[in-house]
Amino acid sequence: MYAIIEDGSRQYRVAEGEKVDVDFRDAQIGNRVEFGQVLLFQNGDDTRIGRPYLEGMRVVGEVVEHPSEKYFIQHFRRRKNSRRFKGHRQHHTRVRVTNILQPGQQPPAQTPPPASTPPVGQ
């Protein structure tokens, strides 16, 4: 079972349990994120294509982390003593897809993470 969703100006193919990097969202780690713009849904022989979106379909995920990548841009012109070196850091939000919900379905209740217990003997 998988779905194709649209977030911002990009489209992503997602399945339950997969992790996907989307544009940065200001959300705490562990928070629930919902994508309502589902373009396509397929489960075995059941294929649904939206025009442009499927009514009532949603993809629910959980924020896992906020990674970032550093890109370096270098321009060099030989024999001209001309060098330019710039850097850019792109921030993302990594989301684990927990559920692909069909119209009328509700997501399961979100369970809080277990509280950490101190080691035995302290």
The structural domains of the chain, with segments of one domain joined by +, span 2-65+94-101
Please report the pLDDT score of residue 82 as a whole number. Answer: 96
Measure the CA–CA gap between 92 and 63, rounded to whole angstroms: 11
pTM beyond cutoff 0.85: no
Give the residue-averaged pLDDT of 67-90: 95
Pick the more confident residue, 119 or 39.
39
Mean pLDDT taken over the chain: 91
Q: Residue 7: beta bridge partners?
A: 10
Is 90 exceeded by the pLDDT of residue 26?
yes
Give the residue-averaged pLDDT of 26-32: 94
Give the residue-averaged pLDDT of 94-104: 94
Beta carbons of 34 and 5 less than 8 angstroms apart:
no
Measure the CA–CA gap between 109 and 54, rounded to whole angstroms: 24
